[in-house]
Amino acid sequence: ITQMSNEKFSKLVSDSRIMRMTSNDLDNNILSLIIIDSNNRAVKVINSISSSRAYFFHFQNNSLRLSTSIKEIKASGIKLELNETSLPEFYLYRYVTPPKTLYSDICKLIGGESILFELKEGVSKKRNFFDFSTSETDKNESDYEIATNCFNILKNNIHQSSHLTDAPSLLLSGGLDSSLLGMIPSMNGKPVKSFSSSFSFINDTDIEDEYAQTAAKHLKLNHEVISGTKEEYLCSLVDAIYATEEPLHHLQSVMLYILFKKREESSFLLCGEGADRLFGNNAHVTYNKNKSLISFLQHSGMRHLVKMANVFTGKRNYRLSYFSKYFGSSFISNDNFLWTMGQFTDLKDVKEITGCSASDIFESYRNLLQPYANESFLNKVSILSLLSEGSITITLWSKLAEANKIVLHYPFASKDLILYVYSISWQRKLKEQKFIIREMLRNGGFPEQFINRSKKSFGFPAKFWALPGGLFQSIIDMAQEMYDKTVLESFQSVEPGKPMMLWNMISLYLWKKLMIDGTAPDVLKNEILNRHKIIEGKK
């Protein structure tokens, strides 16, 4: 909130245009705007599509609590309680899509949303959502010109955000997105330090550090690999959940927290999150590659035969499952492919545990996409990805960084880049996966061997933490106060879908202990470590 004189504030709120502003009207450098009209007892909140802040609000009995901190809402007198209706969605996707949260009667603003609260009436109205609808054209620009324009936007974003630091730093995985960001500050003559994390403390075959170091060497970056210990990971899991005030949906997030805590000096870090959601992720590429067959199956009715075949096999067959999905414009069908995006657990397991129907679980996705119902399928993939998992990842990682006095900046998530890339046809963007990203790298002289090397997954293999006696056994044992022992044990498996359900359950358990029950982080950490020591001693 910007503080200003009463005279200036009165002049601001007296301008009726101000109260009509939406996220699309915000300058690229303004991440949020809160307007308080005390005369009319109204509050307008405008959250930029580029904001890394999650706004929570509790609005009841003509009273509004609004904060980026759940702890502050609690301090204002609101009792925190678990929202049971959000659990099915959480178990399936590892997160809850805004405006719903895991807290009863506490909502969250959607990325790019603006909302007007009228305290006199006790109602919120005039909700506006980000407008992506710039005209999608091929433009009269060459591939080189489009890549150059994107590069210049990125360069300007980084310059504007990092001009106060002499040594910007970078989270570097060695992939296309982070490597591109690594090129830009060095072009301005600024020394750049890069960081990556590693699970080598438990997985000696983890190659993320090697993958990142090869890119850093070519970019002439001062690179540091940060790992940890089993005990550090367990403690950092608790600290990270306490910092974010939400369960974690990425196991990698804990390693980022350790990285932020252990890094030397750097207080400003660039992050490449958001690029594939704009320039083309696996969902975009797979659909584009198979759209003729998908269209035939949809219009001929053969999709239903594929679906029957998939059910008959009784096994996880990706191709059968994919082609049995619905790709039309209606949101009614539970078979809509869009509802599968972000799923890491098995829908059958979720329905069995919660007794919830698929329609209930997919409700948040349906509501989120409703303002964009007329968009093309590929655009819907981008919008859903940006406003659900993408936005949630950015806000959670930012809180992890801030807990360690770091500013985390996402150049790919800027409003001007989103609108420009959105206006480029998918035919152009999908000449190859992340075609425009690759063109920017090529224009900058990045070697083809790096541009075309196979993408690596840097996840944390389930065999190290999901099986009995694994890294999380101490927490699993503690979680029996919330879940039945046999239910927990049924998910201690490396079978697809089972490990992520187990992760969701222990992450939710720790979140509930910290945020709902009010258990101090140190108390939880001490019990986890004591149990872990006993388990390790028996091996």
232-279 pLDDT, tens digit each: 999 999 999 999 999 999 999 999 999 999 987 778 899 999 999 999
Supply the DSSP string of 393-423, one letter for each residue: HHHHHHHHHHTTT-EEE-GGG-HHHHHHHHT
Question: What angle, rounded to 10 degrees, do the helices at 230-244 and 391-402 form?
Answer: 110
Reported as a pLDDT band with limits 50, 70 and 90, residue 27 is confident
Specify whether the CB–CB gap between 313 and 320 falls below 8 A: yes
Q: What is the pLDDT of residue 2?
A: 41
Supply the DSSP string of 100-128, one letter for each residue: --SBTT-EEPPTT-EEEEETTTTEEEEEE
Q: What is the pLDDT of residue 234?
A: 98
Task: Tokens for 346, please give them.
Answer: 């098995």
518 pLDDT exceeds 50? yes
pLDDT tens digits, 355-384: 999 999 999 999 999 999 999 999 999 999
Residue 361: CB partners within 8 Å, gap ≥ 6? 88, 89, 92, 347, 350, 351
Distances (CA, A) of 57 to 43, 184, 370: 12, 38, 22
pLDDT tens digits, 336-355: 999 999 999 999 999 999 99
Side chain identity at residue 453, one-letter code? R
Q: What is the pLDDT of residue 469?
A: 95
Q: What is the pLDDT of residue 400?
A: 97
d(CA 446, CA 353): 49
In total, the chain counts a number of residues equal to 539
Q: What is the pLDDT of residue 1?
A: 37
Give the residue with greater pLDDT, 414 vs 319: 414
Distances (CA, A) of 264 to 92, 354, 373, 399: 37, 45, 47, 19
Distances (CA, A) of 110 to 73, 280, 321, 403: 18, 22, 30, 23
Sheet containing 193-197, strands listed edge to edge, beginning at the edge strand earlier in sequence: 222-226, 193-197, 169-171, 268-270, 407-409
Q: What is the pLDDT of residue 160?
A: 80
d(CA 203, CA 228): 11
Q: Is 408 exposed, middle or buried (0-12, 13-18, 19+ CB in 10 A)?
A: buried
Reported as a pLDDT band with limits 50, 70 and 90, residue 495 is very high
| Mean pLDDT, all residues of the chain | 89
Specify whether the CB–CB gap between 171 and 194 falls below 8 A: yes
Distances (CA, A) of 235 to 254, 409, 435, 514: 9, 26, 41, 13
Q: What is the pLDDT of residue 100?
A: 95
Q: What is the pLDDT of residue 139?
A: 63
Reported as a pLDDT band with limits 50, 70 and 90, residue 201 is confident
Q: Residue ranges of the alpha helices (H) in 103-190? A: 143-162, 176-187
Q: What is the pLDDT of residue 134?
A: 67
Burial 55-67 (b: 16+ CB within 10 A, else e): bbbbbeeeebbbb
8 pLDDT exceeds 60? no
Side chain identity at residue 51, one-letter code? S
Task: Tokens for 482, please give them.
Answer: 């919330």
Give the residue with greater pLDDT, 471 vs 141: 471
396 pLDDT exceeds 60? yes
Q: What is the pLDDT of residue 4?
A: 46
d(CA 381, CA 132): 13
Looking at residues 185-203, what average pLDDT do you find? 80
Neighbouring CB atoms inside 10 A of 374's CB total 9
Looking at residues 139-149, what average pLDDT do you find? 89
Task: Tokens for 374, please give them.
Answer: 């007329």
285 backbone φψ class: left, alpha, beta (φ>0; ψ -120 to 50): alpha
435 pLDDT exceeds 50? yes
Of 174, 238, 235, give the one whose Cα is nearest residue 208: 174
510 pLDDT exceeds 50? yes
- Give me the residue label for tokens 């090529």: 442
Looking at residues 307-331, what average pLDDT do you find? 83
Q: Judging by DSSP bridges, how do beta strands 268-270 and 407-409 pair with one another?
A: parallel
Q: Is the peptide bond before 185 cis (omega within 30 degrees of 0)?
A: no
Supply the DSSP string of 220-268, one letter for each residue: T-EEEEE---HHHHHHHHHHHHHHHSS--S-THHHHHHHHHHH--S--E
Looking at residues 521-526, what average pLDDT do you find? 98
d(CA 84, CA 272): 34
Task: Tokens for 269, please give them.
Answer: 């870090």
Reported as a pLDDT band with limits 50, 70 and 90, residue 94 is very high
d(CA 509, CA 133): 41
pLDDT tens digits, 475-486: 999 999 999 999
β-bridge mates for residue 57, sequence order: 66, 107
Task: Tokens for 127, please give them.
Answer: 């909700």
314 pLDDT exceeds 70? no
Reported as a pLDDT band with limits 50, 70 and 90, residue 136 is low
Looking at residues 211-221, what average pLDDT do you find? 88
Specify whether the CB–CB gap between 24 and 111 falls below 8 A: no
Question: What angle, rounded to 10 degrees, do the helices at 282-300 and 302-313 form?
Answer: 110
